[in-house]
Structure 1
Amino acid sequence: MSSIADNIKRIKEQTVEKLISLGRPEDDITIVAVTKTHPVAVIEEALRNGISHIGENKVQEAIHKIPFITVPYEGFHFIGHLQSNKINNLLKLKPMLIQSIDSLYIAQQLNRSLGRKNITQDILIQVNTTAETTKSGVNPENAIDMIWQIAALPCLNIKGLMTIGMLSPNPENTRPYFRKLWKLKEKIEAEKIPEVQMKYISMGMSEDYLIALEEGSNMLRLGTIIFGTRNYGGTN
């Protein structure tokens, strides 16, 4: 069984090779290690071996881990579905990026909480490119209208888009959905919405991250391929 250090080394070698083949800079990627179910000790092992961004899916789990990490890192990302009653607890953790804003309502609730604290928050808009009812995210056809409305909220900074591809044994099956997100990104840029940036395109997970790179991703969310499928005993 490969170690976490070996896994990270292999992933970085593969991503650099892919980026070079695409004519992109070697550092044109942010790897977010998805640390769901993994305890602090395992997270710190990843941080000591080249990971600098970590992502959690659940606020309740994150509050039991993030404050106790002692190894330095660049950013904590929240990547799961955000419930309005968990917003204040999430903000206590000072996320670098909330990747999963999927409705105007949750954006408004987040903006209200941020306003009370007189702070701002960088966010991504989650888009449901696969139209699966089991996934969160705004419908691509409604995304631009929603982004115009969210852009008017003073405490939120839209920095890009996020999507989850089609889960399939064949990663090629998810390519059209990544391509759909990239085309949406281009449409949003053409709108020239004030204060909206398409800095981050977060797409690609353990099964399809090389396909995602080919379709323009510059932020990968990787869990299993780093940590393995075993539950290490973290908080569920």
Structure 2
Amino acid sequence: MNKEEYKLYIDDVIRRVEFARVRVSAHHIVKIVAISKYSTAKEIEELYSIGQRAYGENKVQDLRAKSEELKELPIEWHFVGNLQKNKINNLLDIDPTLFHALDSLELAYELQKKLKARDMTLDCLLQINSAKEDSKHGFMPETAKESYEKIAKECPNINLKGVMSIGAHSNDIGVIKKSFETTYKIYSELEGATICSMGMSGDFELAIECGSNMVRLGSIMFNK
């Protein structure tokens, strides 16, 4: 695709997001985070020139490399991968806009310790394993609300902004929808939560219709 064709293609993706959100409400706002983990800095730059501002990486070293290479651009960087405790300081050096995958109390306490030592805060989302799949990280739905409130109370340097989940790994739309509805129900019960991040390239429209206000789109945004 040339630049004009690529812009028209991205406009169509945005149109699909818009159609899904207005089916919820004219006032429902959805943010797109472009997942750039398989993309080069040059490809990010091309998408940036069209208007996309938020990007997500799932490896700390890749986030560091790309954010440094593109430091002249005011990009909003998100970390969407699972965070190993020995990589916390490396992530805090980068200071991303949002960490999407706070997936255990153990990680929360270690993150709080490192944040307090640096006298800094970090905006985070609690990851929920809404489909209860062994292959996924996150809090089980039954303990998510209690754990969210516990972290909010005991970890003052962690700014919990809401929740994140990945849709059920299934070909059954009903099963995927149920996993999104489970996450949204928890989100709706959390005091002060403003972000419900659900939906990827293959299921973002369904996720939005179930209440998502942040979608993580990878392959569909860089499909050139």
Same fold (TM over 0.5): yes
Partner of 1:194: none
Read off the aligned partner of 1:53 and give its amino acid letter: A
After superposition, the C-alpha distances for 1:72-92 in whole angstroms (9 at most, x for unaligned) are 345211111010011111111
SS in 2 for 1:161: strand
Q: 1:44 to 1:148 in 2, by over 3 A?
A: same
Deviation of 1:4 after TM superposition, in Å, equals 4.2
Q: Does the aligned pair in 1 maintain the 2:30–2:215 contact within 8 Å?
A: yes
Partner of 1:113: 114
Q: List alignment gaps of at least 5 residues for structure 1.
A: 190-196, 231-236
Q: CA RMSD for the aligned pairs?
A: 1.8
Read off the aligned partner of 1:205 and give its amino acid letter: M
Partner of 1:204: 199
Q: 1:130 to 1:4 in 2, by over 3 A?
A: farther
Partner of 2:125: 124
Read off the aligned partner of 1:80 and give its amino acid letter: G
Q: C-alpha separation between the residues in 1 aligned to 2:136 and 2:206?
A: 20
Partner of 1:222: 217
User: Greater shift after overlay, 163-172 or 109-118?
Assistant: 163-172
Read off the aligned partner of 2:55 and give its amino acid letter: I
Q: 1:177 to 1:145 in 2, by over 3 A?
A: same
Read off the aligned partner of 1:225 and give its amino acid letter: I
Partner of 2:178: 176
Q: How does 1:1-236 map to 2 (within 5 A)?
A: 4-25=6-27, 28-70=29-71, 72-151=73-152, 152-169=154-171, 171-189=173-191, 197-228=192-223
Q: C-alpha separation between the residues in 2 aligned to 1:57 and 1:83?
A: 11
Q: List alignment gaps of at least 5 residues for structure 2.
A: none
Q: 1:31 to 1:117 in 2, by over 3 A?
A: same
Read off the aligned partner of 1:87 and give its amino acid letter: I
Q: Does the aligned pair in 2 maintain the 1:4–1:227 contact within 8 Å?
A: no
Q: Does the aligned pair in 1 maintain the 2:23–2:209 contact within 8 Å?
A: no
Deviation of 1:173 after TM superposition, in Å, equals 3.7
Q: C-alpha separation between the residues in 2 aligned to 1:48 and 1:209?
A: 23
Identical-pair percentage: 35
After superposition, the C-alpha distances for 1:26-52 in whole angstroms (9 at most, x for unaligned) are 7x0110000002111011111111211
Q: C-alpha separation between the residues in 1 aligned to 2:69 and 2:125?
A: 26
Q: Does the aligned pair in 2 maintain the 1:48–1:71 contact within 8 Å?
A: no
Number of aligned residues:
221
Q: 1:145 to 1:21 in 2, by over 3 A?
A: closer
With structure 1 as the length reference, what TM-score do the two structures score? 0.87
Q: C-alpha separation between the residues in 1 aligned to 2:175 and 2:26?
A: 24
Deviation of 1:5 after TM superposition, in Å, equals 2.7
